[in-house]
């Protein structure tokens, strides 16, 4: 992942989740499960905001999977 | 893995699993074992869908192994 | 992350936290949660200082997420 | 590991194990220990087959060590 | 970290710790906490020596954080 | 570590351990501690042999630290 390629399906999928203000679950390498809406993404990070408007900057290295919150 | 090389046996194997809608088990670095069919793959991610049509976007970094579901 | 790109939103966000002397929580791959102010960042590391003026040099590889201390 | 260099001793060693249908133990980052014969390797993965002919596609990222099964 | 850039603040900081024979704590991905003085660093490793003059070669990949021993 | 640079101190140190048939302890990311002599190293791996002449091929990714066996 030496470039942030905005044409990649996975990058575009996250971009759609941002536009839709979709609530998601993010599983991290530490086994933490964070819940919230994604505010933005860049080459290194994803920024999540939870229901209390608390923001979390997550490094991509730490991401394992993303699910839509059902 | 600086390129997404679609001629690689492992990438083609996953591509075949997508076409065949084959059910698989994916072991992740967090020790989670996810079960479902692979919908698509790109340079960064594999997208899995389970029997309840819930989709999971899994970062390749988090993948450990894949088995056919027996 | 082959370059330290200071125009990246995530890098600039950390830069703002440094200027604001904002207290943060840093979650690490070892599941440690460090609290303090960020003093500086470079390509490889983030330097944190806690309330006792003890400094910690954290390798980016080890970072999972950052939250503002509430 | 930006190239799959087939002249590397470690890559050639695995190639020999494939030809010899040698049974091996593979330790993974999740602490799993898989046993079987290696069928093939490429830049990203090693494919293992166990005694019940079940195949496992293992990402190199997840590999820790390999021993001959004694 | 494709180059060992000796002008980086974090690399220079470690260089200063070497000159000062400063005692440090190194936290590793395995959650080990090693204590000693850093003897040298290169692109791949940091070499630590403890109070019994036992040397440990630590791969950078395994480093999480460094604190001055108080 | 995009090249296997044999002039690096850490690579040369391992080369010396090979020549000296020095017994070492290798700590791995899985928290395993392997003991033996290093037979060879290449870009991707280190090959260890224990006192029963059992060989283990260890991927560099999995290495955390090396100590001389005391």
> Cβ of A21 under 8 Å from any chain B Cβ?
no
Domain annotation covers residue B23: yes
CATH of residue B37 = 2.30.30.100
User: Closest Cα partner for E62 from F26, C62, A64, A28?
Assistant: C62
Count structural domains, chain D: 1
With cut-offs at 50, 70 and 90, classify the pLDDT of residue D1. very low
E16 is a domain residue: yes
- Tell me what pLDDT residue F56 has: 98
Structural domain range at position E18 = 9-68
Is residue A1 assigned to a domain?
A: no
- Which residues of A are less than 8 Å from B34 in CB distance? 65
Indicate if the pLDDT at residue B1 is higher than 50: no
Confidence of residue E2 (pLDDT cuts 50, 70, 90): low
Q: How far apart are CA C41 and CA A62, in angstroms?
A: 18
Q: Do chains B and E touch (3 or more CB pairs under 8 A)?
A: no
Per-residue CA distances from E26 to B48, C66, F17 (Å)? 39, 21, 24
Nearest to F9 by CA among D59, B46, E55: E55
- Which are the contacts of F13, defined by CB distance < 8 A and separation ≥ 6? E47, E57
Phi-psi region of A6 (alpha: psi -120 to 50; beta: other; left: phi over 0): alpha
CA–CA distance, F44 with B29 (Å, rounded to integer): 20
Chain C residues in contact with A57 by the CB 8 A cut-off are 10, 13-14, 65-67
Q: How far is CA F12 from CA E3, F8, F68, in A?
A: 18, 6, 15
Using CA atoms, how far apart are residues B14 and B46, in angstroms rounded to an integer?
Answer: 9
Residue A3 falls inside a structural domain = no
- CA-based nearest residue in chain F for residue D7: F42
Give me the interface pTM, i.e. the ipTM: 0.95
Is residue C35 assigned to a domain? yes
Q: Would you place residue C50 in the very low, low, confident or very high pLDDT band (cuts 50, 70, 90)?
A: very high
Q: What is the pLDDT of residue D4?
A: 85
Q: Is the pLDDT of residue A1 over 90?
A: no
Give the closest residue to E65 by CA, choosing from F61, C45, F67. Answer: C45
DSSP state of A60: G
B2 pLDDT higher than 90: no
Please report whether residue C24 resides in a domain: yes
Q: What is the mean pLDDT of residues A19-40?
A: 98
Q: Looking at the predicted structure, is the pLDDT value of residue E70 above 70?
A: yes
pLDDT at C4: 85
CA distances from A34 to A31, B32, C14, C35 (A): 10, 16, 20, 19
- Is B3 contained in some domain? no
Percent share of chain D, pLDDT over 70: 96
Within a domain: F39: yes
Structural element, H or E, at residue F11: helix F9-19
């Amino acid at each position: 992942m030496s470039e942030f390629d905005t044409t990649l399906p996975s990058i575009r999928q996250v971009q759609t989740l941002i536009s839709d203000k979709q609530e998601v679950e993010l599983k991290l390498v530490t086994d933490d499960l964070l819940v919230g809406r994604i505010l933005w993404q860049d080459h290194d990070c994803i920024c999540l905001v939870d229901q209390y408007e608390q923001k979390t900057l997550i490094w991509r290295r730490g991401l394992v999977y993303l699910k839509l919150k059902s």
